[in-house]
Amino acid sequence: MSFDHIMTTLRVDLLSALREGKRPKGNKQVMIRFLADFTSRDQAAIAHAIQLYRHTTMHTGRPRALVDPQSGQSRYYLLHWGRNGADEAAHFTVDDTGKLTMNLECLLEDVICAFDAFASEVRESPHIAANVIKAWPRVVQQVWGA
C-alpha cells in the first residue's frame, strides 16, 4: 500500500516554518502547532499523525511501528482512503489502545482548510506576513555545500 498521499498531505512543514519566519527543517512541534491552530483536531492525534506519517514515512516510504519508550505502549493506525464505510467521527482521533484513525478524504479537507486559514492570517497579520517575507528567500534558494 502506498502512503504517498498521506505523506504529501502532511507536508505542512513549509507553511508552518514560513509562519515562524524560518526555513523548513521538519520541526515536529511547529507542524503540530500549525495544524492545532488551524484545525479542530485533537493535538495528540495531530502529534501521532505527524510522527507516523510525516516523519517516518518521509524516510522509509511507509509507516513504521511506534513504541512509547516510557510506557512500552505500541501505537497503531487505521487509514480509510475515503468516506465510504468509514466513521467520520473517528477521523483524526487516537483511542485508548493508541490507535490513530484517519480518513484520507477528510484529511485532505482538513489540510485545505488549514492552508486557507493560514492565507487569511498572512493577509490580516503584518507580523506573520513579515515572517513569510523574511523566510521565503531561504525557501527558494539553497546554498551550495550547505
Q: Classify residue 96 as exposed, middle or buried by CB count within 10 Å of its CB (0-12, 13-18, 19+).
A: exposed
Q: Report the C-alpha gap between 13 and 10 in whole angstroms.
A: 8
Residue 20 has what pLDDT?
Answer: 94
**Residue-level pLDDT, tens digit, the chain, 146 residues:** 456 666 666 678 889 999 999 988 878 899 999 999 999 999 989 988 888 877 666 666 667 778 888 888 888 778 888 778 778 888 889 888 888 888 888 888 898 999 999 999 999 999 999 999 999 998 888 778 76
* Residue 80: strand, helix, or coil: strand
